[in-house]
Structure 1
Amino acid sequence: MEDGVSGSSGKMATDQQDAQNAIQREILIGIRVTAQLTQTQLSQKLGHPQSYVSKYEAGQRKLTLIEVREIALCCGVSLLDFVAQFEQELKLSEG
């Protein structure tokens, strides 16, 4: 029975992380679009191939905090503003 309980809470944690990752992706896409950058243009600013942007926007690649900061800055958004927007969206999603 203990396995069922830990498995259940593990699933909830994974679901919560998936939801948070989706919010992060939505914000990153939004700031790129607001900055009027294509995936190719952003990837050039970052010094990565276009597939780098495509993969994290599609949820196929996780990002470090340092990478999120670099992406945000390339889109004209500070890390603090990104985090504030993330927290706001997180609160809205939690109802």
Structure 2
Amino acid sequence: MNKSTHTKEYNLLLQLLYSLRLNAGFTQLELAKRMNVPQSYISKIENGERRIDIIELRSICHALNCDMVDFVKELQNRINESK
């Protein structure tokens, strides 16, 4: 059985988080500093080694100056397009 972090939908979430960070012009270290977490925390999220919950997603969106509702809408669009 596949782990839930390895679903197509979760991979789309990770891709969107990664592209959001890059488009915001942040390195993993810069994002980590804004969130007051170690850089390895961001790395593990982006590599799928650490699954995030809704509160962590909210923190990431806030640190990247992204509205979480807009983020979720974009994620849903990408999931729909991938089907």
Q: TM-score, normalised by structure 1?
A: 0.81
CA distance in structure 2 between the aligned counterparts of 1:19 and 1:76, rounded to whole angstroms: 26
Equivalence for 1:24: 13
Unmatched runs of 5 consecutive residues or more in structure 2: none
CA distance in structure 1 between the aligned counterparts of 2:56 and 2:25, rounded to whole angstroms: 20
Bigger Cα Rg = 1
SS in 2 for 1:62: coil
| Divergent runs of 4+, >3 A | none
Per residue, is there more helix in 1 or in 2? 1
Give, in angstroms, the shift of residue 76 of structure 1: 1.2
SS in 1 for 2:37: coil
Equivalence for 1:38: 27
Select the residue among 53, 61, 64 that pairs with 1:72. Answer: 61
Unmatched runs of 5 consecutive residues or more in structure 1: 1-10
* Code of the aligned partner of 1:41: E
Show CA shifts across 1:64-89 (max 9, x none). Answer: 00101110111111110110100000
Aligned residues with identical type, % of pairs:
28
